[in-house]
Amino acid sequence: MKQFLSFIKTHYETSLLLGAMGFLLLALVKPEIQLKQEVHNYLLLADISQSMNAEDMKVDSKPATRLAYTQHLMKQVVKTSPCGTYVSVGVFAAENVALLFMPLEVCANFDIITDSINHLEWRMAWSGNSRMTFGVKAAEATFDYLNIPAQMLFFTDGDEAPKANGINKLDISDVRIGKNVIFVGVGGKEPSPIKRFNANNRFVGYWGTDAAAESAGGGVNYSDASKDDPDPPVAYAEFDRYLSSQDVDHLKEMATEIKGQYIEGLDAPAFYQFVQAQTPAARFVTSYSIKWLWLTLAALMVIATYLPDVLAYRWRDRRPV
């Protein structure tokens, strides 16, 4: 041991430089360690019911449907999330929620996540109507299936079909996941017509008011799109179009009932900052980079090789003349 210390004392520069090289090798070979830490885990849930085909939004200053706008917001949430954030994606239609994939880390799976969001469309829906309160209950079951705490961003216009009333509205006051639910309001405040497509996704016109009349008794507002090919019925005149808008009051009412949150889905920094400011929902074993530590230690060792010269210079200046 004495010989080792004597060698270091005699060859301190060589020892420090060898140590610096060792830390540089560690930065290359072992830049990460596994730690269990709190992370953001988001479930991005898209409403894909027919009303989301209303074209009253804009993406890059161009007209866009509510669903296309939802896709844009989702991709921006993923893009603005730091590495270590986890994301899963699901869809809502009728009374149910379907989970497309389990949580994935955003940096390692960025292309997979964004590609999945790009392929969301109304034809994925098993039915064209939407009953929000039932959807919230279904989302609760999805949370149980995930078995991992998550923050759910529910992108929707809140426009129910058939309209919620005392008969078809479900009591959601006992929902356990309320604190994890954020309703993201999508859609204009002014009534807009809803585009109608056939099964080949070809635009054929707009939904007519007869769609609302069909659902007066609590039935389905929108028919099965698979039966629409090639020419489904549409509104025969502008005044006959069924109009839809974002039902802000309904979304806020549901948020209050389950003790959740509502926010306007605006493509602005404030919205993405709000999302990232949420309390981390889960604890995952994740890779934590310590490359910075090895590089810092290597730099300090290189600087330390000059320390004796600096001390000698200062001592020389202090000697009496």
Q: What is the pLDDT of residues 277-304, one digit of tens each?
A: 998 876 666 666 778 788 888 888 888 7
133 SS3 class: helix
Give me the pLDDT at residue 193, please: 94
pLDDT at 255 over 90: yes
Mean pLDDT of the chain: 83
Per the model's pLDDT, the better-predicted residue between 58 and 305 turns out to be 58
DSSP 225-242: GGG--S-----SSGGGB-
Structure tokens at 266: 């605006």
307 has a pLDDT exceeding 60: yes
Indicate the range of 1-10, 212-221, 222-231, 308-317 predicted with least confidence.
212-221
Q: Which two tokens stand for residue 138?
A: 């279904």
The average pLDDT across 12-28 equals: 80
- Looking at residue 216, its pLDDT comes to 37
Q: Could you tell me which of 228, 227, 233, 230 has the C-alpha nearest to residue 214?
A: 233
How far is Cα of residue 283 from the mean position of the Cα atoms in its chain? 17
What is the pLDDT confidence band of residue 16, given thresholds at 50, 70 and 90? Answer: confident
Looking at residue 31, its pLDDT comes to: 77
The model's pLDDT over 107-148, given as tens digits with 9 standing for 90+, comes to 999 999 999 999 999 999 887 678 888 889 898 888 888 878
Q: Which residues face 244 on adjacent strands?
A: 192
CB 284 within 8 A of CB 37: yes
Tell which wins on pLDDT, 199 or 91: 91
Give the residue from 49, 66, 48, 47 showing the smallest Cα distance to 57.
66
Could you tell me which residue, 65 or 202, shows the higher pLDDT?
65
Rounded Cα distance between 163 and 6, Å, is 86
State the Cα–Cα distance between residues 176 and 158, nearest whole angstrom.
20
- pLDDT above 50 (res 218): no
pLDDT value at residue 298:
83
- What's residue 14's pLDDT? 77
Bigger pLDDT: 225 or 137?
137
Measured distance CA(211)–CA(18) in Å, rounded: 78
Q: What percent of the chain has pLDDT over 90?
A: 43
pLDDT of residue 246: 95
Q: What band does 271 get if pLDDT is binned at 50, 70 and 90?
A: very high
Structure-token pair, residue 68: 């296309």
Q: Please give the helix or strand (H or E) that residue 146 lies within, else none.
A: helix 132-146
Residue 89 has pLDDT above 60, yes or no: yes
**What is the predicted pLDDT for the residue at 238?**
85
Q: What is the pLDDT of residue 221?
A: 43
- Look at residue 258 and give its three-state secondary structure: helix
**Is 228:266 a contact under the CB 8 Å cutoff?**
no
pLDDT digits (tens, 9 = 90+) for 58-67: 999 999 999 9
**What would the mean pLDDT of 21-25 be, rounded to a whole number?**
84
Does the structure show a pLDDT above 90 at 38? Answer: no
